Structure 1
Amino acid sequence: MKKPFSPFGELGLIEQIRRDFATTGSAVKLGIGDDCAILRPPSGCEVLVTTDFTLEGRHFRRDSHPPESVGHRCLARGLSDLAAMGATPLAAFLSLALPSTMLAEAAGRAWTTRFFNGLRALAELHAVPLAGGDTSESPGGKQALILADIVLIGSAPKGKALRRSGAFPGDALYVTGQLGGAAAELATLLGRRKRIINLKTTDDHPHLFPEPRLDVGEALLRRGLATACLDISDGLSTDLAHLCRASGVNAEIEQEALPIHPLAGKLDAQAALHAALHGGEDYELLFTAPSSVTMPSSLAGVPLTRIGTLKARRTAQPLMTLLAPDGSRTELKPGGWEHFSKPTKTEKKTPR
Structure 2
Amino acid sequence: MIAALRARNPIKPGKLRLGIGDDCAILRPNAGDELAITTDFSLENVHFRRDWHSPEAIGHRCLARGLSDLAAVGAKPMAAFLSLALPKELTARHRGKPAWVERFFDGLLALAAKMNVPLAGGDTAESPAHKGKAGLVAADIVLVGGVKRGRALLRSGAKPGDLLYVTGPGLGGAGAELLALERNPSRFTALKVAAPGHPHLYPEPRIAAGLRLRKRGLATAAIDLSDGLSTDLHHLCGESGLAAEIDATVVPIHPMAQLAEAAGWARSALQLALHGGEDYELLFTARPQTKIPRELDGVAIHAIGRMSKMRNGKPAVTLLEEGKAVSELRARGWEHFRGSSSD
2:93 and 2:13 mapped to 1: Cα distance?
Answer: 36
User: Which string of whole-angstrom CA distances, capped at 9 and with x for unpartnered residues, describes residues 183-233 of structure 1?
Assistant: 000000011052633226333100000000000000000000000000000
Task: After superposing the two structures, state which structure 1 stretch, 264-273 or 145-154, moved more.
Answer: 264-273
How many angstroms apart in 1 are the aligned matches of 2:324 and 2:216? 35
Measured in 2, the distance between the counterparts of 1:139 and 1:271 equals 42
2:67 maps to 79
Cα pair distance change 1:70/1:240, threshold 3 Å: same
Secondary structure of the residue that 1:217 maps to in structure 2? Answer: helix
2:52 and 2:185 in contact (8 A); partners too:
no
Match of 1:3 in 2: none
Contact 1:102–1:109 (CA under 8 A) maintained in structure 2: no
For residues 58 and 105 of structure 1, the distance between their equivalents in structure 2, rounded to whole angstroms, comes to 26
- Superposition pairs of residues 112-261 of structure 1, within 5 angstroms: 112-140=101-129, 142-177=133-168, 178-192=170-184, 194=186, 196-199=188-191, 201-261=194-254
8 Å contact from structure 1 (residues 180, 261) kept in 2: yes
Q: Structure 2 residue aligned with 1:55, among 33, 43, 47?
A: 43
User: How many angstroms apart in 2 are the aligned matches of 1:125 and 1:102?
Assistant: 26
Letter in 1 for 2:335: E
Which residue matches 2:275?
278
Cα distance in 1 for partners of 2:48, 2:138 equals 10
Letter in 2 for 1:314: R
Inter-partner Cα distance in structure 1 for 2:187 and 2:292: 43
Residues 26 and 129 in structure 1, CA contact (< 8 A), matched pair in contact too: no
**2: distance between equivalents of 1:197 and 1:210?**
17
TM-score computed with the length of structure 1 as normaliser: 0.91
Q: CA deviation at 1:139?
A: 2.4
Q: Whole-Å Cα distance in 2 between the matches of residues 343 and 317 of structure 1? A: 24
Question: CA separation of 1:193/1:166 partners in 2, compared to 1, >3 Å: closer, same or farther?
Answer: closer
Note the 1:260-339 alignment, pairs <5 A.
Answer: 260-268=253-261, 270-339=267-336
Separation in 1, partners of 2:6, 2:185: 37
What amino acid is the match of 1:309?
R
Write the distance in 2 (CA, Å) between the matches of 1:287 and 1:23: 34
For the 8 Å contact 1:48–1:153, the answer to whether it is kept is yes
Is the Cα contact below 8 Å between 1:76 and 1:212 reproduced in 2?
yes
Pair 1:203–1:160, CA change in 2 (3 A): closer
Question: Cα distance 1:122–1:104, how it changes in 2: closer, same or farther (>3 A)?
Answer: closer
Displacement of 1:113 in angstroms is: 1.2
CA contact (8 A) 1:78 1:152 kept: yes
2:91/2:100 contact within 8 Å kept: no
Q: Deviations over 1:280-337 (max 9, x none)?
A: 0000000000111111101111000000011111121110100011111001000000
Q: What secondary structure, in the 3-state scheme, does the structure 2 residue paired with 1:208 have?
A: coil
Q: Is the CA contact 1:65–1:195 (under 8 Å) kept in the aligned structure 2?
A: no
Greater alpha carbon shift after TM alignment, 249-258 vs 268-277: 268-277
CA distance in 2, matches of 1:44, 1:37: 21
Task: Please tell me the residue identity of whatever aligns with 2:176.
Answer: A
The question of whether the paired residues in 1 share the 8 Å contact of 2:221 and 2:285 is answered with yes
Cα distance in 1 for residues equivalent to 2:14 and 2:116: 8
Report if aligned partners of 2:80, 2:144 keep a CA contact under 8 Å in 1.
Answer: yes
Q: Distance in 1 between matches of 2:98 and 2:125?
A: 15
The alpha-carbon deviation at position 65 of structure 1 amounts to: 0.4
Deviations 1:146-169 (A, max 9, x none): 111100000100000000000011
Q: Cα deviation per residue 1:6-32 (whole Å; 9 max; x = unaligned)?
A: xxxxxxx11111111122224111111
Query: Are residue 42 (structure 1) and residue 30 (structure 2) matched?
Result: yes
Distance 2:112 2:178 in 1: 23
**Size of the alignment, in residue pairs?**
334
| Percent of pairs with identical residues | 55
